[in-house]
Structure 1
Amino acid sequence: MYPERVAKALQRAQANLNAGDAHAALVDLEKAVQKFPKGFQCWLLYGQAKGYLGDHAGAEQCFRRAVAILPRDINGWNCLGLSYSARGMFQPAADAFSKAVMCAPLAHSDIYHNLGSALLELGRYQEAATVYEETIPRKDTGDLWALLAMCYKGMERYQDALQANLKALERGITGYTIHLNLSSCYSVLKDFDSAAAHARAALDAKPGDDAALLNLGLAQIEAGRLGDGLLSLSQCARPDAGAARLLAQQYIDPVDPRALREAHEAATAALTAGIEARHIARELKPGERLRVGFVSGDLRLHPVAFFLEGLMAWLDRSQLEVFVYSEVRKPDEVTERFRQMGDHWRETAGLGDDAFVERVDLDALHVLVDLVGHTNGSRMTAYARRLAPVQATYLGYSGTTGLRQMDYVLSDTVLVPDSDAESHYTEQVVRLGPVLATYTPPAGTVPVSPLPMDANGYPTFGSFAQRKKISPATIDMWIATLKAVPDARLMVMSSGLSAVAARERFAALFAGADIDAQRLILRGPGTMEEYLAAHSQVDVILDTMPWNGHTTTMHALWMGVPTLTVDGVHHASRLGESVARAAGLERYVVARPAEFPARAAQIVGEPARLREERATMRNRLSTSPLFDHDAMARSFGAACAAMWKARASADAAAGSAPM
């Protein structure tokens, strides 16, 4: 029981709080806690009044006093949790909310809501999801479904996240955030039309928003609407939007290599404006190994890994001391293999430029090798400061970086055949030999199948290219090929064809040229095993232009399926030629798109030769430069030594002192 005067003070305070006058409530509550310091309600209301006024630290102290008096009262623990949450202290908040639930397992759903929110902030997605899943049957509201969607997204359960977001939308949640989240879910699930639609809805709610513009532009590009995507990205101020624009420009046909170089120079100059490059001069003492660092976020199940693993495994460690700066945010079994290959493994994902530069400086590299370029996780602003005497880019990007401080680009004799091709780069070109990189096949034992046209009675052409690579010129070339081989089918398995609407729109491109829809087999992407197995349905791959396949071309060869390609005018449009010539498959390279249909007809018109190539393809690859990891490692080591020697000689001539 409270003394009468204290009870009346509490009544007045409660009335003032209900009326929104926390200052007036404080007058009575300060007196109440002095007169009756053992009163639970005194401290509880006192803390609430302080919280209303923004004094959450003061509120915490009041609620601590309250739960000390009545440790089994649910309200005290809930209010304590809210005071922690208000200051971003989510671990003690989760502890307090958990104690509230323990006091009353059938507590009000709002307390479970609070507990889930604290767990979500802590990244404890599974625990938070369990709380929301148990709460929703008692409080089926849009905001709880939206929070549950965030948990599923954190757990990478994107289909579940999509469904939860849709339920939130059905229950009246509207506006920017729900549509942006839906856009992100649809993008991950490869339904790019829906992703773009929800990005537009987010923009309607928040015009000019950079995140929504980025989502819209990327979805449009992935859906093959390059012009729309570039326009959306041009309105976005985020650096990653600028990088995406540079990449997307290389899918547009016809390609202008010099214009691409100029675009990269301009974009990189703007990105790195105001960054001062350091001069770094270092010694290589007699008997000391050359310290070479690799920077990549793709040391995982990713195209770069298929072309890097063999090189890394065969590098001469008596000559090179290898440092790996892993930018991988979600490691997998491939990451673990790479971890074993470096002399030194540095986890740098999430580091800002200052911390990243400091980490690299500690290793005193002689040569730094960028494996990212302008793709996700680009470190251009760090490289602009200069991290090593020699900086080179390799493998992870399809052309020049445009960065003045990037000294070299590593390539091959097909991708950069002459001085004219060298002019496409701001970097000095170093050729590693007849191939850009060697290939390591995917793990698993998917066998090479018999030639499908033997069983079908007709040839099946195929493509596993991303939708954004399938340019209008590519479509025209494929249509001409289908007309040149009237009984042929075309199977396209692409990340841009997941949705029914996307497949219908794609089929319409052929219908307009009188190609019957029955001749098309359109599929969305699958698992790696499903993707490899799908090659059993294809006799010959038809390449894309102006950006050829590379990883998909190698995977197809591993499955016994050759790719017919067109010789191009820059790095990305010569990848098919580079692979075909290295594999001894010169007949699969034509000089001009006009020659493509007749060559395709000739190839499928010789089934015995095609059958023999398919059956012996893996043996052919094993003796080709594409699988000669030792030779590639020696070329790479020699290139590093030559680049270092050139820099050291230049420093000596200039009189630069080593650091």
Structure 2
Amino acid sequence: MTDQPASLQALLQQAVSEHGAGRFAKAEPLYREVLSRAPKHPVALYLLGVLALQVGRPETAVELISNSLVEQPDNAEAHYNLGNACLALGRASDAEREFREAIRCQPDYAAAHYNLGNLEKDAGQLEAAERSFRAAARYAPDLAQAWCNLGLVLVELDRKEEAVAAYRTGLSKAPELAEGHNNLGNALAGLERYDEAVASYREALSANAVFGAAYRNLGTALQKRGDEKDAARAFRQALLLDPAIAENCVNFATIQRMSKAYEFASRWSRFALSIRPDYPAALMACGLVQLALKEFEVAIDSFGAVVQADPRNAAGWGNLGICRQELGDMDAARDAYRRALCLEPAATASIANSVLVSQSFLDFDRALLLARRGLVVEPLSAALLTVRADALRASGRLVDAEYWKRAVICVAPGDTAFYVNLNIVRRAQSRLHDAERDLRRGLIISPGHTKALMQLGELFAELGRLDEAVVLGRKAVRGAPDNVMVHNSLLFYLHYKPKLSTAEMMRDYRFFDDAIGRPLRNRWRPHSNRRDPRKRLRIGYVGAGFHWHSSASFFMPLMKNHDHARYEIFCYASYPRGEDCITQEMRSNADHWISTMGMSNDALVKRIRDDGIDILVDLAGHTKGNRLRVFAEKPAPVSFHWLDHGVTTGLSAIDYFLGDPVFTPEDSADLFTEKIWNLPKSVFPFEPIGWTQTETPPPAELNGYVTFGSVARAVKLSDDVFKVWAEILHQTPGTRFSLFNHACREPSVRQDMIDRFGRLGIGSERLSIGFCTQSQEAYAQIDIMLDTFPHNNGVTGFEGIYMGLPTVTLRGKAAIGTLGSSMLTQIGRAEWIAETVEDYVRIACEIASDPLALPELRSSLRRDLLSSPVMDGASFARDFEAACRDMWVKWCSEGEVVHQGEG
């Protein structure tokens, strides 16, 4: 027995020798023999655990190494390898704990710091990951991957210059790291240092000649610096390494179609059908020509014939879905795509279109699942990358969406549409100057691109560059007069332009009616509604704000107070952000709730007619998600506009514009294509939605000076507005100005606002410019609200009064320039309504001259608002319903004239 320890040691040494030589099958029984004699032997337990990990048995490794740590709890290497075993089992939290234990036992354990950094990076703990990678590099300066992973983290932290330095250090240790060179190129490209980026991508390809991502990135960098031919070669090589799936053309007509010789393609398709009438390929060719010519209704017949002749023709179902989708019939499109994908699950075009349809129904989980499935099949599909990015953006994941939109541009850098899509994500993140750069790049490729012109116009409007915005908007409209969206865009911001004449403005609205509205008059049909002045009226509301939205503050008081005994309420509801508590409350106050998500205009027109709606109310005007195309077909006997947009729709098919005597005075008829119908009191009831903020003291009490302020959107902040505000500040020495809006989240926009004041003699020390996530926080920092002009504040004006802020407004054109006047009249504060710029300055200065009066004003204004007609929802509902009744009686007595055959 005395020689057992020596024999045991010899046995262990033999096991270690076999293990070190890679003869695992011989080493394992030797370790087990040691453990049979000394079951708790820590070294044998540990080394056998390492062996188990090496041969792919992580569960066994965890058990053995854990047992060894019972005997030797401070064995740093054992903790490290136990962490690796946990990683192999997907137990990230356990792995993290063990790596930290390894570092506790041995603070300079570089590999443990490195692995811990990877876990932290994957968990999104970027600052912690940076510390871990820096520690790994400090204790093992030649650990190239630690430097390169540090670079990845620094890029994600938007510290690209530091990332470049980290990559260069790592690559100096290991020049063969192709991924490192590629990532260095990405960091340099992010800094727009394209010459250096190109060199880095070429280094990556020298290290790995079949590195597809490096070819794609090289192509993008070359494209950015204008090397079109070299970029094309790089992209071709990338495609050779990872070729896309292509559909084969089956006949001469298809070849002609691909070369855009549509007349020949159509002729040869018809000739094929004259020989074999039910030949699916010929029917398909006809449909594809019609689809290319955007003859969607005719193409539906062709593709319908294809699937009737061959129900298992996946392409036929897919193209049928495209036609349905283009016509807005999303239910039918979804069914067609499902059939196509059942027959051909790898059809990426149908997958991409299904993603869009799912997104239209707000089913983002399914949309993203479909996009991922498609990218497995065709990783370089620009269409799939685009729809994936769009679904991420629509679901609110803006950072991820930007990543994928950049990937689309890497695949197809010559398509302007992809730059337009990237700009949308940048704007959503308030990165307005980045968005402008994206659009300008797109317009270099296609100078007349309608959507790029439209988006750049909207962006300029948001930045307050109204003259440029209007020029671009009109150019977009001229280029695509039948595109409703470009009209909506121009007409939305047209009113923000100072000094725009009525005649000039109305020309744009009449052009919209001529281009979009009048051609649809041939679809007007007589209405079969029962002409009974006293019947229970059916009122239908159409809009896209049936969710937590600024307009809900005005719409909710009406919905809560309708007289359902006399009025049957139909909500044709769209809620692009998804259902929320506001949606549910609105639904509970409606007699009928019809979701219009995915419903085509034609289907909605039919539904309104089938429901027998007597009075149809447009809640959207030219704002996002409107259905003015539906109103142009006049599906109900009487229609009027109320709520969003706040100006004429320009659509002669809409009968009335609902206003009040101050908002739309009698002498403003020339500003409307509709007839003005005024309620006796305010046309805007108000209810603060979701507010818990109590009254706050005027900041002057704490600051010792008066603060003027605004929470208006940047589009409303013209140079004329800045000049007047600066004059007020000049006349009230010691006062300050606070400006809060969404665009000021971007530092460059914020600095631009400061510079604009600076050019007018107002120093930055008198300014507070920024963004508050909660509007109540902004109101708490303002003593006196200054309304904008010529476009007054909307819901923010009401919110400011509710928070006790005295407000100065300048009366302008109806109705965008009279909203503030209407509101102040209703609460008995007409003395704050200015008729001239001089009055505006005088009133503001007078309020500021008595700071001791501000506390009483602040506490009394909410009481004034609460006791005013503005917050009497029941009274407003009676006025609103009376107007509906009078409109109906008028229609019953006059009858109707149906215009047919126009357009």
TM-score, normalised with respect to structure 2: 0.57
- Which residue of 372, 377, 392 maps to 2:640? 392
Offset, 1:163: 4.1
- Which residue of 711, 718, 724 maps to 1:477? 724
- Which residue of 446, 451, 457 maps to 1:217? 457
Offset, 1:324: 1.3
Please name the residue that 2:307 is paired with.
none
Summarize the alignment of residues 491-510 of structure 1 with structure 2, pairs less than 5 Å apart: 491-510=738-757
- Which residue of 805, 809, 819 maps to 1:575? 819
> For the aligned residues, what is the CA RMSD?
3.6
Say which SS state the counterpart of residue 636 (structure 2) adopts: coil
Say which SS state the counterpart of residue 613 (structure 2) adopts: coil
Percent of aligned pairs sharing the same letter? 26
Q: Deviations over 1:421-446 (max 9, x none)?
A: 23322322221123111101021311
Give the aligned residue type for 1:499: E
Separation in 2, partners of 1:311, 1:503? 38
Residue 226 in 1 paired to residue 466 in 2? yes
Separation in 1, partners of 2:341, 2:893? 61
Please name the residue that 1:319 is paired with.
566
Give the aligned residue type for 1:182: L
Give the aligned residue type for 2:633: R
Alpha carbons of 1:216 and 1:644: their partners in 2 closer, same or farther (altered >3 Å)? same
Summarize the alignment of residues 526-537 of structure 1 with structure 2, pairs less than 5 Å apart: 526-527=772-773, 530-537=774-781
Please name the residue that 1:463 is paired with.
710
Summarize the alignment of residues 246-265 of structure 1 with structure 2, pairs less than 5 Å apart: 246-265=491-510
Alpha carbons of 1:117 and 1:312: their partners in 2 closer, same or farther (altered >3 Å)? closer
Q: Relative CO higher for 1 or 2, CA cutoff 8 Å, sep ≥ 6?
A: 1
Offset, 1:349: 3.2
Alpha carbons of 1:289 and 1:84: their partners in 2 closer, same or farther (altered >3 Å)? closer
Say which SS state the counterpart of residue 520 (structure 2) adopts: coil
Give the aligned residue type for 2:807: T
Q: Deviations over 1:499-554 (max 9, x none)?
A: 11112222211111121012121113x43xx2212211110111110001121101
Offset, 1:200: 1.6
Please name the residue that 2:517 is paired with.
272
Alpha carbons of 1:426 and 1:95: their partners in 2 closer, same or farther (altered >3 Å)? closer
Q: Deviations over 1:432-478 (max 9, x none)?
A: 12311110102131122111011101111111111111122111111
Residue 549 in 1 paired to residue 793 in 2? yes
Separation in 1, partners of 2:373, 2:518? 52
Please name the residue that 1:337 is paired with.
585
Please name the residue that 2:293 is paired with.
none
- Which residue of 522, 525, 537 maps to 2:769? 522
Separation in 1, partners of 2:807, 2:823? 9
Please name the residue that 1:187 is paired with.
427
Q: Is the 8 A contact 2:711 2:778 kept in 1?
A: no
Q: Is the 8 A contact 2:738 2:768 kept in 1?
A: yes
Give the aligned residue type for 1:380: L
Q: Is the 8 A contact 2:532 2:892 kept in 1?
A: no
Offset, 1:484: 1.1
Q: Is the 8 A contact 2:552 2:689 kept in 1?
A: no
Offset, 1:603: 0.6
Summarize the alignment of residues 226-245 of structure 1 with structure 2, pairs less than 5 Å apart: 226-236=466-476, 237=480, 238-245=483-490
Say which SS state the counterpart of residue 235 (structure 1) adopts: helix
Q: Is the 8 A contact 2:638 2:655 kept in 1?
A: yes
Offset, 1:395: 1.7
Give the aligned residue type for 2:557: G
Give the aligned residue type for 2:583: T
Q: Deviations over 1:16-55 (max 9, x none)?
A: xxxxxxxxxxxxxxxxxxxxxxxxxxxxxxxx99975669
Say which SS state the counterpart of residue 573 (structure 1) adopts: coil
Please name the residue that 1:307 is paired with.
554
Give the aligned residue type for 1:453: A
Say which SS state the counterpart of residue 570 (structure 2) adopts: strand
Please name the residue that 2:876 is paired with.
632
Offset, 1:388: 1.7
Say which SS state the counterpart of residue 201 (structure 1) adopts: helix
Please name the residue that 2:842 is paired with.
598
Separation in 2, partners of 1:406, 1:90? 36
Offset, 1:153: 2.1
Give the aligned residue type for 1:184: I
Q: Deviations over 1:94-134 (max 9, x none)?
A: 89999xxxxxxxxxxxx9x9999799576675578689999
Q: Is the 8 A contact 1:293 1:324 kept in 2?
A: yes
Separation in 1, partners of 2:837, 2:895? 48
Offset, 1:258: 4.6
- Greater CA drift, 614-623 or 166-175: 166-175
Alpha carbons of 1:85 and 1:501: their partners in 2 closer, same or farther (altered >3 Å)? farther
Separation in 2, partners of 1:114, 1:266? 37
Offset, 1:633: 0.8
Please name the residue that 1:45 is paired with.
none
Say which SS state the counterpart of residue 514 (structure 1) adopts: coil
Alpha carbons of 1:149 and 1:249: their partners in 2 closer, same or farther (altered >3 Å)? closer
Give the aligned residue type for 1:361: R
Give the aligned residue type for 2:505: L
Please name the residue that 2:659 is paired with.
411
Separation in 1, partners of 2:715, 2:391? 31
Offset, 1:566: 1.1
- Greater CA drift, 590-599 or 536-545: 590-599
Residue 623 in 1 paired to residue 871 in 2? no
Say which SS state the counterpart of residue 738 (structure 2) adopts: strand
Please name the residue that 2:625 is paired with.
377
Say which SS state the counterpart of residue 263 (structure 1) adopts: helix
Alpha carbons of 1:227 and 1:414: their partners in 2 closer, same or farther (altered >3 Å)? same
Offset, 1:148: 6.0
Alpha carbons of 1:604 and 1:208: their partners in 2 closer, same or farther (altered >3 Å)? same
Give the aligned residue type for 1:352: S
Separation in 1, partners of 2:396, 2:783? 36
Offset, 1:490: 1.1
Say which SS state the counterpart of residue 597 (structure 2) adopts: coil
Offset, 1:379: 2.7
Alpha carbons of 1:437 and 1:206: their partners in 2 closer, same or farther (altered >3 Å)? same
Please name the residue that 1:357 is paired with.
605
Say which SS state the counterpart of residue 396 (structure 1) adopts: coil
Give the aligned residue type for 1:239: V
Please name the residue that 2:783 is paired with.
539
Please name the residue that 1:205 is paired with.
445
Give the aligned residue type for 1:534: A
Give the aligned residue type for 1:645: V
Separation in 2, partners of 1:490, 1:384? 45
Q: Deviations over 1:481-507 (max 9, x none)?
A: 111112111111112322111122222
Residue 452 in 1 paired to residue 696 in 2? no
Give the aligned residue type for 1:235: K
Say which SS state the counterpart of residue 689 (structure 2) adopts: coil
Q: Is the 8 A contact 1:409 1:430 kept in 2?
A: yes
Say which SS state the counterpart of residue 889 (structure 2) adopts: helix
Alpha carbons of 1:346 and 1:476: their partners in 2 closer, same or farther (altered >3 Å)? same
Gaps of 5+ in 1: 1-47, 59-82, 99-110
Q: Is the 8 A contact 2:466 2:497 kept in 1?
A: yes
Q: Deviations over 1:599-656 (max 9, x none)?
A: 212112212322112123322211101101111111111111111111111129x99x
Residue 649 in 1 paired to residue 893 in 2? yes
Q: How many residues align?
A: 565
- Greater CA drift, 295-304 or 271-280: 271-280
Separation in 1, partners of 2:858, 2:697? 8
Offset, 1:270: 2.1
Alpha carbons of 1:568 and 1:119: their partners in 2 closer, same or farther (altered >3 Å)? closer
Give the aligned residue type for 1:518: E
Q: Is the 8 A contact 2:533 2:885 kept in 1?
A: no
